[in-house]
Chains A and B, each alone.
Chain A
Amino acid sequence: MLSLKSIALCVPLSLALWAGAAHAQTTPAEQIAGYVAQSGQPAQAARGQEFFTSKHGKEWSCSTCHTAKPTVEGKHASTGKVIAPMAPAANDKRFTDAAKTEKWFRRNCNDVVGRECTPAEKADVLTWLASLKP
């Protein structure tokens, strides 16, 4: 039975999540263009794939959690939480919020590479992800 308490708990959460979703304001293509402009060189999907699926001197690669073919779900390497597909063709919410993209690049590049990624690396990875078909 739906109790008053669970309604009281769930309604504000749903509203907040809905408000959060309304933030989306960009596209993968726009973000790729932005990174390409910052890097001053054309993006290469093949280089993005290589970067994504290789280790960079640390324990994890991007594909450790996101899989080597990110049109499918991934899984967090330490918590086991399911991660929705990274490829926009399989998940239309991906790369639609520039701040979110930057937040995750900043943190995950630190975990995988031990530094922030360069605009060229971000452009390559995004270009590869955007080229994938489910």
Chain B
Amino acid sequence: MPESTRMKKHLVSLASAALLALSFSGCALAERGYAVAPNAKHQQECGACHVAYPPGMLPAASWQHIMGNLGKHFGTDASLDDASTREITAWLKANEGTGRRGGEEAVQNRITKTSWFVRKHDEVSASTWKRASVGSASNCSACHADAAKGNFNEHQVRIPK
């Protein structure tokens, strides 16, 4: 085998190994982002009206704003007793978003306005969001069937008609 061919083979296998490593670390990152041990109060209270959005979807500062204004929560009164508010706030902040999901404070404290959310959903057309079966971008489980369990795997997305 000529020297150059051997070099090429080496490069190809090096590149594949690097890609493989990258994809593994990608999975690990995704898991770190969402798969935190659940908090029962968070599931019960936040999950009463919408998917209990994983704490890793927003930075601590955004969670602080949201939890400090539950009386005016995106158009509804979602106020809680003080003990529940304190417990959920502390847990959300302790498990805040890191990396791309932690850097920026969300516009209007909306997950759907973060740059990572917009990028991840850029192929979803405006008319798809408006379908009766979807209703709004806050309705994660319309397309992510296991959203309530923190599973947002893009390979399991099923967009309803």
| Contact pick for B49, options A12, A19, A20, A76, CB 8 Å | A76
**B80 neighbours in A (Cβ, 8 Å):** 103
Complexed CA–CA distance, A19 and B40 (Å): 10
| Interface size class, chain A | 20 to 34
Least Cβ–Cβ distance between A38 and chain B, in angstroms:
21
Assuming A79-B49, A80-B135, A107-B78, is B35 touching A20 (CB within 8 A)?
no
Q: Are B139 and A5 in contact (CB under 8 A)?
A: no
Least Cβ–Cβ distance between A60 and chain B, in angstroms:
9
- The secondary-structure label for the interface of chain A is helix
| Interface size class, chain B | 20 to 34
Least Cβ–Cβ distance between B6 and chain A, in angstroms:
41
Complexed CA–CA distance, A103 and B37 (Å): 26
Q: Are B37 and A79 in contact (CB under 8 A)?
A: no
Q: Are B78 and A76 in contact (CB under 8 A)?
A: no
Q: Does B116 sit at the interface, judged by CB under 8 A? A: no
List which B125-161 residues lie within 8 A (CB) of chain A. 134-136, 138-139, 142, 149-150
9 A-B pairs with least C-beta separation:
A16-B40, A80-B135, A79-B50, A80-B139, A110-B77, A107-B77, A13-B38, A79-B138, A111-B76
- B: which residues have CB within 8 A of A? 31, 35, 37-38, 40, 43-44, 49-51, 74-81, 134-136, 138-139, 142, 149-150
- A: which residues have CB within 8 A of B? 5-6, 8-9, 12-13, 16-17, 19-20, 76, 78-81, 103, 106-108, 110-111
